Amino acid sequence: MMKTIDLNCDMGESFGAYTLGYDDLAMPFVTSINVACGFHASDPDHMAKTIQLAKINGVAVGAHPGFPDLVGFGRRSMAMTPEEVKHAVMYQIGALDAFCRAAGLKMQHVKAHGAMYNMAEKDLSFGLAIADAIQAVNPELYMLCLANSQMVTAAKQKGLPYVAEAFADRAYTDEGTLVSRKIAGSVIHDVKEVVARVVRMVKEGTVISLSGREIPIAAQTICVHGDTPGAVDMVKAIRTALDEEGIQLQPFGK
């Protein structure tokens, strides 16, 4: 059987007069995108534009809900209750879905953004809040979860379809969790090394941890970036390598 994998990438993070990211350059190389919904980034006009771009490129679309903090780009944790997080996620899924429906696209998934993602992968109550939100709006949507995290537990508890993601450029602990960004070596910048790691993740289902051990990692999607020219080059290299390895790239929801 042919190996398949999905590459997911945050997109649609421009806002008003402000441009962020190289969506048009990166989109041809990924298979799923996480689209900002106006709370941490984007606005109705950029959402419309992003969904059009997704349609043209044939990528699958997910909502990328974040905290209501434009100045902080949703990267600052906020002491919202799980109930408030649930409602904020529902709102953002619905808002993006309007543009999907208008474009004749079916939304594939939901991936929490920034600090909300970080809270949900550690604290089950926030993972459950996100799962609740998805289930309330559309129980067919996949919850995109960090592999080996509380988000997976939350999705399982709710009986929600989910996929686990691994990060192309992040170092892993021996337990299969992400090495904190505060630790040296947590982010891998060398394109060849990143490409090799992704190929290993997909073909072997393993990753070499920061301490040098081979660790199992089960991921249905790999998170890549498109916010700098260098990031776009990395995405292209990853895509090319996967194609050469005969691995089929397709949205996980297919």
Residues within the interface to a second copy (CB under 8 A): 15-20, 38, 41, 43-45, 47-48, 68-73, 75-80, 83-84, 87-88, 90-99, 101-102, 115, 136-138
Tell me whether residue 57 or residue 77 sits nearer to a second copy (CB atom): 77
Tell me whether residue 96 or residue 202 sits nearer to a second copy (CB atom): 96
Tell me whether residue 6 or residue 97 sits nearer to a second copy (CB atom): 97
- Residue 138 Cβ, how far from a second copy at the closest point, in Å? 7
- Residue 233 Cβ, how far from a second copy at the closest point, in Å? 20
Q: Find the length of the chain.
A: 254
What does the DSSP 8-state code read for residue 29?
A: G
Close Cβ partners of 56 (under 8 Å, ≥ 6 residues apart): none
Tell me whether residue 94 or residue 161 sits nearer to a second copy (CB atom): 94
* Rounded distance between C-alpha atoms, residue 41 and residue 35, angstroms: 9
Tell me whether residue 24 or residue 199 sits nearer to a second copy (CB atom): 24
The H or E element spanning position 184 is none
User: Is 238:194 a contact under the CB 8 Å cutoff?
Assistant: yes
- Residue 20 Cβ, how far from a second copy at the closest point, in Å? 6
A 10 A CB-CB count for 102 gives 11
> Among 142, 146, 104, which residue's Cα sits nearest to residue 126?
146
Structure tokens at 252: 């996980």
> Among 142, 153, 156, which residue's Cα sits nearest to residue 112?
142
Tell me whether residue 135 or residue 148 sits nearer to a second copy (CB atom): 135
What does the DSSP 8-state code read for residue 210?
A: T
Tell me whether residue 102 or residue 183 sits nearer to a second copy (CB atom): 102
- Residue 247 Cβ, how far from a second copy at the closest point, in Å? 33
Close Cβ partners of 146 (under 8 Å, ≥ 6 residues apart): 117, 121, 152, 164, 165, 178
- Residue 137 Cβ, how far from a second copy at the closest point, in Å? 5
A 10 A CB-CB count for 162 gives 23
- Residue 44 Cβ, how far from a second copy at the closest point, in Å? 4
* Rounded distance between C-alpha atoms, residue 170 and residue 166, angstroms: 8
- Residue 132 Cβ, how far from a second copy at the closest point, in Å? 9
